[in-house]
Amino acid sequence: MKSNKLRNLNVCLALIASLGLAGVAQAATVKVKAAPFAYAEGDYPDGQPKPVSTYRVKGKKAINYVNKGDLVGYNIDIPESGVYQLSYSIATEMEEGAEVSFQVKQDSGWETYAPTTVKPQGGWDSFYKLDASAQIPLKAGKQEVRVVATGTNDWQWNLQSFELNKAGELAE
């Protein structure tokens, strides 16, 4: 009898969780893998056939050979309008001059957000979580975004992914 009640309770809890009715609102999260990307641009003469390359690190794909001025574009779907905290899974060997920025396509062009300095944490393949220096306002729906190497050093960073976590509502 007791095991039937426990089993029924577990079934009910699983149903509540699957319907999103657990009572605690879950923040919207968008996680984007760096590879594949929609497009890449850049013209630094690093001897690579494309502006940005892809490679595998510990079984995960990432992008590398990112140089000053290079960028990668993504088409993402934002589940709900809001202000999002941006973080990167990123790596570099550069002691200074490495910076990453986030751009969102607007009607009048590209809006740049959160230029953030990237510091070494053990090498080109030592990815770590780097929180961006500012939050990003985004509307629900399809968005075209870019991750840009905005630092002064010729060699910048490698990127495994980036993540947007809803942190608040958009200002009216």
Report the percent of the chain where pLDDT is more than 90: 78
Complete DSSP assignment for 131-153 = EEEEEEEE-SEEEEEEEEE-SSS
- Asked if 100 and 118 touch (Cβ cutoff 8 Å), the reply is yes
Which CATH number describes the domain made up of 27-168?
2.60.120.260
Which of 4-8, 74-78, 137-141, 150-154 is least confident?
4-8
Query: How many CA atoms, within 13 angstroms, populate the side-chain half-sphere of residue 21?
Result: 7
Instruction: Place 12 in a pLDDT band, splitting at 50, 70 and 90.
Output: very low
The structural domains of the chain, with segments of one domain joined by +, span 27-168
State how far the Cα of 24 lies from the Cα of 97, in Å rounded to an integer.
42
Q: Tens digits of per-residue pLDDT, 60-76?
A: 999 999 999 999 999 99
Q: Inform me whether the pLDDT recorded for 18 exceeds 70.
A: no
Q: What are phi and psi of 3, to 5 degrees?
A: -70, -35
* Dihedrals phi, psi of 88, to nearest 5 degrees: -120, 150
